[in-house]
Amino acid sequence: MGWQIKTKDGALYGPVDSEILRQWIQQKRILEDDFVWSEDKKQWVIIKSVSQLQDLFKEEKVPPANKKRVPKVNIPTPKDLSETLYDDKKTLTDQLIADAWRAMLAKGIWSIMGAIFLTVIVAMAGSMLLMGIIRNFPVNVIISNLITNFIWYLIVAALTLGWSAYSLRIARKETVNVGSIFEGFRGQYLWHALGGYLLIALLTALASLVSFGIWGFYLTFAYLLTYFFIFDENKGPWEGMKASYDITKGYKWRILAVQTVCVLFGILFLGIGLIVTMPLANIAIASLYYRIRTGRISEKHLQTSPAEYLIVLIPIIAIIVFIILTFSGVLIKQVPLLLPQIENIFKNLSVKI
């Protein structure tokens, strides 16, 4: 069940699951006289009146005059965090891209470009070195290919996790360096990243096969936050996938909208702009994870806005129209060539009759 929380001073948090809500109550980040949205009653109710949570309020009560809301723990709140908690005047897509752009400017775009370049170099050099070493071993070609593919997947999975860690730290305005890109090669992260990479690839491929790509496309977005959970909350690959699947409910269209905007802007700048807009999209998705996990999503942003639907639908419609017009133009050009053949067919039919 997803809980939404509203404090007495009007701040909104959530939705979060029951486990997170209980942790926040135990840590005094939420008080007994705050409110939660009850799905069964369809209204805001006082937290201490919720039967599932009453066991957390049995300890000795503190006099109201001495009550103090304990600051959130384990949540980065740097002084230079310029964005507001949320801005209802913008769509969530606008806000995520704005978060990412401010974070990139704070970090330095050239520094991020250098990190991208280094990642590509490591991936290419690693694969070339790998193939060169394995070719010198006296092993069967099939075994050689299996070993090469396994190590290649290991490198890609580790770098994917590393980019998730790098993007998340930038989104949080934390201190970050190029070394963060190689977080995925450290300890259990390496095997969790590989497990997540292979499981996601397998499930999306199978789903695409049985649904003509539709369900696989859906799962691609459903599992997009897996690496953030593996890195940030130390979850295993399957746990991270399940957490990503649950947390992205209601946000998949916004994720697609963010990526659509970034791709379109990248293409507008002759494709070169993708060097900037693709990491921008990654950091924007990291910002979405950060906002959801820290309750920085307003109640209004829980619903996809019409503008966000249009962001995705207009390019799709434009592509469909372009295909139809192109196909129609080809047919029109073929009509003069087809007419004599059609006339011959009818002449032959009349002779037979």
Query: What pLDDT shows up at residue 258?
Result: 92
Query: What pLDDT shows up at residue 155?
Result: 87
User: Do 39 and 82 contact (CB within 8 A), yes or no?
Assistant: no
Query: What pLDDT shows up at residue 242?
Result: 94
Angle at CA of residue 337, ends 331 and 339, nearest 5°: 95
The DSSP call for residue 14 is E
Q: CATH number for 3-50: choose from 1.25.10, 3.30.1490, 3.40.50, 2.60.120.
A: 3.30.1490
Distances in whole angstroms, Cα of residue 95 to Cα of each of 76, 135, 265, 304: 19, 50, 16, 13
Encoded tokens for 143: 């075994």
User: Do 238 and 246 contact (CB within 8 A), yes or no?
Assistant: no
The DSSP call for residue 269 is T
Strand, coil or helix: 79: coil
Task: Fill in the amino acid letter for 209.
Answer: L
Query: What pLDDT shows up at residue 65?
Result: 47
What are the residue boundaries of the structural domains of the chain, listed by start? 3-50, 92-309
User: Do 88 and 298 contact (CB within 8 A), yes or no?
Assistant: yes
Encoded tokens for 350: 């009349």
Length of the chain: 353
Query: What pLDDT shows up at residue 60?
Result: 44
Query: What pLDDT shows up at residue 352?
Result: 46
Query: What pLDDT shows up at residue 283?
Result: 93
Encoded tokens for 166: 């790098």
Query: What pLDDT shows up at residue 131?
Result: 67
| CA–CA gap between residue 120 and residue 254 (Å, rounded) | 28
* In the chain, alpha helices (H): 18-26, 92-107, 109-135, 141-171, 188-211, 214-222, 226-232, 237-247, 252-268, 274-293, 306-352
pTM above 0.85, yes or no: no
User: Do 297 and 291 contact (CB within 8 A), yes or no?
Assistant: yes
User: Do 171 and 286 contact (CB within 8 A), yes or no?
Assistant: yes
Strand, coil or helix: 38: strand
Strand, coil or helix: 12: strand
Strand, coil or helix: 27: coil
Q: What is the pLDDT along the chain (353 residues), one digit of tens a residue?
A: 567 777 766 666 766 777 777 777 777 777 777 777 666 656 677 777 777 776 776 654 444 544 444 444 343 343 333 344 555 678 889 989 988 999 888 888 888 888 888 888 877 777 677 666 666 666 666 777 777 788 888 888 998 999 999 999 998 888 888 788 888 888 888 999 999 999 999 999 999 999 888 898 899 999 999 999 999 888 999 999 999 999 998 899 999 999 899 888 888 776 677 888 888 999 999 999 998 888 778 778 888 889 888 988 888 888 888 888 787 776 676 667 666 766 676 666 554 44
Across 183-201, b (16+ Cβ under 10 Å) vs e yields bbbeeebbebbbbbbebbe
| CA–CA gap between residue 161 and residue 4 (Å, rounded) | 30
Q: Which of 214, 304, 294 is closest to 251 using CA atoms? A: 304
Across 66-88, b (16+ Cβ under 10 Å) vs e yields eeeeeeeeeeeeeeeeeeeebee
